Chains A and B, each alone.
Chain A
């Protein structure tokens, strides 16, 4: 049994790869546009691109999980709140309980697993609509964040030296340095979050492509009935997808926290939207069965590029990235529906 998009043959694969190509071209156009318009402000530096990666490291992990869930035809909108809960747990645990950083990270990952297990059970075995389940999860996580603390917490050197040093650790790249105003060569750098998120991306890519679990995700999303007839345990697969999503979301939460070094109740609001938008823009079909994390990566990059263009402009209102992302999402959803319509007609 191969992944659905490989098995369907050349003709239909073109439709799906076309979506991916559109995404990549769109990213290149956006980025090139940014370079041309804001080149004088330093948009062309390699660091600008790396900053997009640094600030979206958490989102990459979360979006990978979202892609897995969407492959099964479901959706998980609890991710944003779960990230907020993770950050709050990290900040509060290290600040008030004086736990060590690795222990808190393990606790956060465990919370993610349990959260995913409950959601997955409700979706897989109780057959409740994923949206309703994850909406309840979203409000639960957000509320639990408030239960832990309603204050704005930040992680400083005093709170936890280990976590602080992780957060401020840089890996300088050996190339692409830029001379600053004083004439000192500054090397572009990435942070630990980027490495984690790229590792996650690669692992998920391999899992989806080469493992039994990854292929069964595609099969369940393609057609639940045929998957069941092939002898797959549909319920279990669905549950695993939600566990994976929440687990990756917790990893994303740690990356997010490494980047912001702060926690508050209103943190990461709308992150679920960005994650869904990234996956959809990256060519993952909302009906399930089609998609891949490479597209999702480009979806995240497009999101980040829009945000950073708005940032470089400096005059645009802060609500513009939201509107633009929603417009892009709308465009891709309509595009997908048109493709689906054409496919139907061909039959």
Chain B
């Protein structure tokens, strides 16, 4: 009875994944002759910066975590995914660097602070515009979310290239690098992600917004009849998703103090969707669990880091991610669930095995 309750907890799936990753790490460390708790060792190194594998994962996973916030809301409200986030990240980064450096300039070393702020603001506004574009198509024109976001998926990166005049724009100043670097001893991306998560979850908790989004996701028509402006709520979700992509874009481009339109946010949409699915959220919309998505995001980063640790090349990594995605969605698929339920009723022990597999 107790174990059944545990498996039905929304955080069950992400936590199992975290434990699996930790176990793989521990086994690998032991086989390398290191202590099994190597994963958790966190030290402040000679340069006064916080380092360690856990910190690296939290740091590198920030973009996916930020994207996962927006993606969770989009999935919940519209039962579809926003596949343009990776490209929008790239576009926002390019736009930001273009505003800071000026059109056609490939590299700047010294930037006035107001100019920098203008660039950052521009990136956020660009994110919102992209989100609004997607939102309009989905909410007001009733186009399938994936198809609507397909337009920007292809176009945003190309527009970014155009804005940068086909160059990689470098903004080599410490003031810009800080968003992907360190404040004091703490990596800034962790802080940014934490702030984003805190703000969104506060808004969802303290206002009725979270409930509205869920109700729209569960039944759009009924929510409208109950007096909710379904379309506007879906629109808002896409807007927020675009904004999140903008923030993630700034972080990603600040890490390398440049705007590399071809590579920033590449394949990031899969990571974000995977984070949502891993977090125990149904991709069919409705109820969502933000905490699950965030854990999912960091789990994915942990998987990626672990794979690199094991010596898997970055080009091959998608194979494993694809397998993970398929396994997760197959577990969530209605026919499989029905099958499991039928077998649980008949033979509880066997059913539990299947649910764990």
Contact = CB atoms under 8 A, between A and B. Distances in A.
A176 interface: no
A150 B326 CA distance: 24
Interface string A109-151: 0000000000000100111110111011111101110110010
Contact of B142 (A132, A140, A320, A337): A337
A265 interface: yes
A131 B231 CA distance: 23
Contact of B319 (A75, A140, A323): A140
Contacts of A317: 161-162, 165-166
B146 to A, nearest CB: 5
Main secondary structure of the interface of B (DSSP, over half): helix
Interface in A272-324: 273, 276-277, 286-287, 317-320, 322-323
B144 A319 contact: no
B312 to A, nearest CB: 10
Nearest to B284: A129
A270 interface: yes
Given A126-B335, A276-B150, A139 B270 contact: yes
Interface string A313-340: 0000111101101110110011001001
B135 to A, nearest CB: 14
Interface residues of B, number: 47
Contacts of A143: 315-322
B213 interface: no
Interface stretch (B119-127, B151-159, B242-250): B151-159
Contact of B330 (A128, A137, A265): A128
A333 B147 contact: yes
B154 A146 contact: no
A66 B150 CA distance: 15
A323 B162 contact: yes
B159 to A, nearest CB: 6
A333 B326 contact: no
A228 B150 CA distance: 30
A49 B155 CA distance: 26
A322 B151 CA distance: 10
Contacts of B143: 286, 333-334, 337
Interface in B330-351: 330, 333-336
Contact of A326 (B142, B158, B319, B334): B158
Nearest to B327: A136
A135 B325 CA distance: 9
A66 to B, nearest CB: 12
A147 B320 CA distance: 11
Given A128-B330, A329-B151, 11 more contacts: A136-B322, A136-B323, A139-B270, A140-B323, A317-B166, A319-B166, A322-B154, A326-B158, A329-B150, A333-B141, A334-B141
27 contacts: A126-B333, A126-B336, A129-B329, A131-B83, A132-B81, A133-B326, A135-B270, A136-B322, A136-B329, A139-B318, A139-B319, A143-B315, A143-B321, A273-B150, A287-B144, A317-B162, A319-B161, A319-B162, A320-B158, A325-B154, A329-B151, A330-B151, A333-B143, A334-B137, A334-B143, A337-B142, A337-B143
